[in-house]
Structure 1
Amino acid sequence: MSRTDPPVARHFRQILMWPLRLMPLRSGDQVQRHPQALAAITDGNPWREQRDEFTGSPADFHERHYREFVTFLPHVQRFLYGQGRSSATQPGYGESPIRVFRRNDVAAVRLGCEDGSTLDLAVQHIDLYFFYDVDVVILAMEVHADDLPLARVQELLFRFGRAFPAKWSHGDTDGRAAQCMRTVQWVGHDGAVLAESDYGDRERYLRHAWEHRASCIGRHWAYLLQPMVLHHSEAVGDIRYRQLEYHRLPKMTFLSFDDPFALSREDFVRLGQATQPDDGHPLPYSEQVLDEFERTACYDRFWVPARRSDNASTRVICTGPSMVMVGKHGLAGYSDPQNGLLAEFRHQYFLIGLIAHFHRASLLMLMDRLVVAVSLLDADDVDSRRRFKRGIRQTMEIFLRFNHRYWFGEVSKQSMAKDLFDLWTRNLGNEALYNELRAEVLDMDNYLEADDSRRQNETLLRLTVVTIFGLVGTIVTGFLGMNIFDGPPATLAGKIGAVLVVTVPTLLLAFYTLKKSSALSEFFDAVSDDTLTRRQKFKSFLRIWRGRPTGRRRNDLRARKP
């Protein structure tokens, strides 16, 4: 598409969110305390715990924080902020289950663009969000810039925020990674480059995938997450993480234009789906695809192009992994960083997106735990079966606590916040993922209950057989009495010997009976079965000492019934 005067984003702001699974610190512990482990690292640790406005001075709590707080329903408020003290002596609900760590050493992101130019994005925040009792961490990075052409914005949405390259361009002498920025550099406050991407090192990514059967991540991302380290790597570190899904990081983007109505239908599709920048050719999508995109991903409550009014110039697109907000630059209700939609984008809507992506990451983490537990199961190994049962039951307990503590069907009654959460949840597929995980957990629970019932029945069966044979000895000794042998008083050694003479054969008989309990129980079934002949019952008795499989003996017994 050619333009004489292409639109320019007067303000560009983007928040990248990267959910990761945290590996257990100590095997067997129900609750893994990763935030405490991170805070305990002092050498080379740039992360410091961030306190919110509710735990600081009352002078730091402003109206913006209050508006953010009242956006959410009470159960979500307790999740996000906890509950303080209603008086000086009465404790409240408790602290929030979220702990936030922030690093302040990165001042900017320097990007090498496709045309060979460089672009610096200022870094607002880089945070890590930990959640109590859920082994998930979310990296959140907020960057911003001004006066970016629409084509540059499209390039950033398409190329920036990739954990690793999916492929490399063939025929390029420099071996550049396809669909990625040429370079990504973290720049410190003094202008020094702290870390740089290595997307062009194809051999490193190929070897890592071959060796670990897992994807490697870019060196600049690995640097940013230190002292946490990638689980499938040789790096040394107690806090280890692994990827949960796609290599393109979820993102939220805020754009303000002088005239948002100048954007075409295809422009919104490119922005919402984070596709390749406009190269002058139309999108290869059919009208049905475009209609479906507008129906399922576009929130047009405040978007009326026909009216071309400032109060109807805001459009929100949410495909799930990507959320884009487009509106008019300079409009107080949209661009004001304290009272406009820009402030709500950075706070209320960021938290809504955080909850939606946290839900998805938690469900994926629990499903991953189930898959790992099943893959490590050796049905012939007693210890493996025991570990499998323990792991499955722990996962079920975590899912139960997650369900009651974190799973929200509704977060707000405010129209836009409520609709965006519903849109986010639906397009991320959280409801379907939740139902699938719940069904798998119920299947596992039914299996464990059935297996426990089977083992209890087998134990009761053996005990019943032993009791029947023990009943014979009980009747005999009870009838004859304790003074079976009539003679002169025995010595102490003689009494002990008599006890051993009785005890040892009794124990041997008991263990032998226990060993043959399954075959004896089948013999008892045959004796009590009136449909069998005496010959068949006698064969069943002889079968006790034959080393044939139990299942085969039962099938033969059923087959002989008339």
Structure 2
Amino acid sequence: MATSADIIVKHFRQILIWPLQLMPCEVKGQGRTMGRHWLQMLDFAEAGSPWQPRPTEFDGDPADFEERHYREFVTFLPYVQRFLYGEGRLSNQKTDQFGQSPLHVFRRNDIRKIVMMFKDGAVHHFSVAHIDLYFFYDIDVVILAFEIQGENLPLKRVQDALFRFGRAFPAQWDEDHTAASCLRKVAWLDERGEVLAASDYENRAGYLSHLGAHRAPKMAEHWEYLLSPLVLHHSAAVGAIRYRQIEYHRMPIMAYVAVDDPFALAEEDFYRLGMVTKPGDGDALPYTRKVFEEFEQNCCFDRFWIPERKHISASTRMMCNGHAFVLVGAHGSEFFADPYTGALGQFRHQYFLLALIAHFHKAALLMFSDRLAVALANLNLQDTQSIRQFKRETRHLQEAFLRFNQRYWFREVSNQIVSDQIYQMLHRHLAVSRLHQDVRDSIQSMSQYLENDDLRRQADTVVRLTVVTILGLIGTTVTGFLGMNLFSLAEESSVNRMLYFVLVFVVMLLLTFFTVAKSKVFSELLDAIADERMSWAAKFSVFLKIWRRKKV
């Protein structure tokens, strides 16, 4: 019987799904807007950027539309279809904007291979299937989707690649100054095999100094090169589209592992694959039975996995822990290995889109949470301009969150059992529903604060108007009653009458402003006069407050 060390992975694929937060940008003619960075990417594409708009399957001749795209489309419910693919334009529809998908995807094709040097010095080459950037209309989030593939790799090497490859920067360094959980070296190669960019994980001093200067970690050089013209926000780099880290530095992954005999894998092998841990060695402590039971209960979808049958039709296992979705099966099974009708095709299309939606939900909600925290941090109740800015930002976030709920928020995406179960597992492990509730509660609390503040200001205005009206009523009544009997100005010259008018106007204007300025004290005086329980001495004391200067 083969051991884990003897198992060869015939076909291996790994997809990185890396969400990043985009900083607000200014769009010409629209001011400060959310989710318009793809317009700037179009400008970069026209200027020769390696990132170019990716054509969709709907851009070609309808007669050439493939069945695998048809199966992918009908997997999802109609409202999810409109999110992923847009909506067909009616024959009489004139506007070009109708029905467009809120997804804007850019792809680069200059990186063709990846060289990975592992901790033990071994070097392996992997082919690049695709590298895409997903932008979302109205949401300041971008997701990098990076798919690689390899053939005939030892299982332990696959476990090591899953554990080490998708890391934006080192978390620490070993005694030999190599990054603890990262690959020793990663390099991007072009079609001719020339190095385009390489990692700098060993540059410990550079990472430390960057963190000390910017209070944010530095991205590894090969990832910075890959994302360009996007630039890290907390850095000295100059760029119109700036991003920042929004989640843990380990990128979420998907993995497809095809072996000759999946039943030869031990429980520990499945655990290390599903939980994305490094391969075991002779010194590693064994996992307990309880660990395996919890893993199988919470992270395994075993609809097509029946090990006691030892039949190829029951040799496919799916594992999901939120951070990773891993698919393991038999390389010789058409059900598992067919790139069009089998699990491999579903892994690269339907399952990838399920993971993309779930991770987008979490990233967008974390972005909203971050913006709310920044808005509150910038609020200064002693600064009128700060209060106005806080109100504008809060209302802007309310509008954006409302659009997010209507356009992007899905509790169900498919009626197909497998797709629905995988999506629910992703949502549960990522705790997206709880995060959505937290963000909604925060926005509602801030909205309630603004409403209460507006009501308070309106109440103060009503009080001032009431005081002015009451005091003005006295003068109106007196002058109206006495009228022309008090002063006879009919025979005066026009100049004198104009002077009288100006004099009365100025006096009444000053009296009105004085009343408004003292309206709060006047309102207290009116309350005191109306209070029968107060003595006349106490009422007179309130009257004297009108003439006292407020202490600074």
Normalised by the length of structure 1, the TM-score is 0.94
Q: How far 1:86 moved relative to its partner?
A: 4.3
What pairs up with 1:335-414 in 2 under 5 angstroms? Answer: 335-414=337-416
Letter in 2 for 1:205: Y
Listed one character per residue, the Cα deviations across residues 106-143 of structure 1 (whole Å, up to 9, x for unaligned) are 00111111111211110011000011111111010110
- What SS does the corresponding residue of 1:477 show, helix, strand or coil? helix
* Residue 138 (structure 2) pairs with residue 136 (structure 1): no
Partner residue, 2:57: 53
- What SS does the corresponding residue of 1:29 show, helix, strand or coil? strand
1:82 aligns with one of 78, 86, 102: 86
Letter in 2 for 1:115: D
* Residue 61 (structure 2) pairs with residue 34 (structure 1): no
Listed one character per residue, the Cα deviations across residues 396-432 of structure 1 (whole Å, up to 9, x for unaligned) are 1111111111100000011110000000010011011
Q: Name structure 2 gaps, 5 residues minimum.
A: none
* Residue 98 (structure 2) pairs with residue 104 (structure 1): no
Question: What is the distance in 2 between the residues matched to 1:482 and 1:65?
Answer: 91
Contact residue 112 and residue 182 of structure 1 kept, 8 A: yes
Cα separation, partners in 2 of 1:82 and 1:549, compared to 1, 3 Å: farther
Contact residue 320 and residue 326 of structure 2 kept, 8 A: yes
Question: What is the distance in 2 between the residues matched to 1:208 and 1:483?
Answer: 85
Question: What is the distance in 2 between the residues matched to 1:4 and 1:78?
Answer: 45
Partner residue, 1:71: 75
- What SS does the corresponding residue of 2:346 show, helix, strand or coil? helix
Partner residue, 1:450: 452
Cα separation, partners in 2 of 1:425 and 1:283, compared to 1, 3 Å: farther
Question: What is the distance in 1 between the residues matched to 2:279 and 2:165?
Answer: 12
* Residue 195 (structure 2) pairs with residue 190 (structure 1): no
Contact residue 53 and residue 60 of structure 1 kept, 8 A: no
Question: What is the distance in 2 between the residues matched to 1:81 and 1:268?
Answer: 35
Question: What is the distance in 1 between the residues matched to 2:490 and 2:320?
Answer: 99
Partner residue, 1:289: 291
Q: How far 1:435 moved relative to its partner?
A: 1.0
* Residue 149 (structure 2) pairs with residue 147 (structure 1): no
Cα separation, partners in 2 of 1:461 and 1:182, compared to 1, 3 Å: same
Q: How far 1:489 moved relative to its partner?
A: 3.5
Partner residue, 1:116: 121
* Residue 486 (structure 2) pairs with residue 481 (structure 1): no
Letter in 2 for 1:74: P
What pairs up with 1:7-22 in 2 under 5 angstroms? Answer: 7-22=7-22
Identity of aligned residues (%): 52
- What SS does the corresponding residue of 2:49 show, helix, strand or coil? coil
Q: How far 1:88 moved relative to its partner?
A: 5.7
Letter in 1 for 2:134: Y
Letter in 2 for 1:23: M
Listed one character per residue, the Cα deviations across residues 186-229 of structure 1 (whole Å, up to 9, x for unaligned) are 10111110011111111111111111111111111111111111
Letter in 2 for 1:161: G
Question: What is the distance in 2 between the residues matched to 1:484 and 1:348?
Answer: 91
Partner residue, 2:24: 24
Cα separation, partners in 2 of 1:389 and 1:283, compared to 1, 3 Å: farther
Letter in 1 for 2:408: Y
- What SS does the corresponding residue of 2:472 show, helix, strand or coil? helix
Listed one character per residue, the Cα deviations across residues 36-68 of structure 1 (whole Å, up to 9, x for unaligned) are 111112445111101211122214311111000
Question: What is the distance in 1 between the residues matched to 2:488 and 2:511?
Answer: 26
What pairs up with 1:184-263 in 2 under 5 angstroms? Answer: 184-263=186-265
Letter in 2 for 1:73: L
Question: What is the distance in 1 between the residues matched to 2:202 and 2:41?
Answer: 31
Question: What is the distance in 2 between the residues matched to 1:259 and 1:293?
Answer: 21
Contact residue 274 and residue 322 of structure 1 kept, 8 A: yes
Cα separation, partners in 2 of 1:95 and 1:487, compared to 1, 3 Å: closer
Listed one character per residue, the Cα deviations across residues 499-541 of structure 1 (whole Å, up to 9, x for unaligned) are 2101111111111111111111111111111221222222222
2:435 aligns with one of 433, 436, 453: 433
Letter in 2 for 1:364: L
* Residue 42 (structure 2) pairs with residue 6 (structure 1): no
Question: What is the distance in 2 between the residues matched to 1:23 and 1:487?
Answer: 70
Contact residue 526 and residue 532 of structure 1 kept, 8 A: yes
Letter in 2 for 1:303: W
Letter in 2 for 1:9: V
Letter in 1 for 2:51: W
* Residue 520 (structure 2) pairs with residue 514 (structure 1): no
Cα separation, partners in 2 of 1:368 and 1:4, compared to 1, 3 Å: closer
Cα separation, partners in 2 of 1:251 and 1:487, compared to 1, 3 Å: closer
Question: What is the distance in 2 between the residues matched to 1:547 and 1:287?
Answer: 78
Q: Name structure 1 gaps, 5 residues minimum.
A: 551-562
* Residue 185 (structure 2) pairs with residue 159 (structure 1): no
Cα separation, partners in 2 of 1:312 and 1:482, compared to 1, 3 Å: farther
Contact residue 301 and residue 319 of structure 2 kept, 8 A: yes
Contact residue 266 and residue 283 of structure 1 kept, 8 A: no
Letter in 2 for 1:184: V
Question: What is the distance in 1 between the residues matched to 2:178 and 2:213?
Answer: 23
Contact residue 4 and residue 155 of structure 2 kept, 8 A: no
Question: What is the distance in 1 between the residues matched to 2:389 and 2:357?
Answer: 32
- What SS does the corresponding residue of 1:121 show, helix, strand or coil? strand
Partner residue, 1:328: 330
Contact residue 30 and residue 394 of structure 1 kept, 8 A: no
Letter in 2 for 1:99: H
Question: What is the distance in 2 between the residues matched to 1:301 and 1:547?
Answer: 80
2:181 aligns with one of 171, 179, 182: 179
Question: What is the distance in 1 between the residues matched to 2:51 and 2:308?
Answer: 49
Question: What is the distance in 2 between the residues matched to 1:231 and 1:483?
Answer: 77
Question: What is the distance in 1 between the residues matched to 2:127 and 2:484?
Answer: 95
Aligned residues: 546
Contact residue 4 and residue 264 of structure 2 kept, 8 A: no
Question: What is the CA RMSD across the aligned residues, in angstroms?
Answer: 1.9
Question: What is the distance in 2 between the residues matched to 1:483 and 1:189?
Answer: 103
2:505 aligns with one of 499, 503, 506: 503
- What SS does the corresponding residue of 2:448 show, helix, strand or coil? helix
Partner residue, 1:556: none
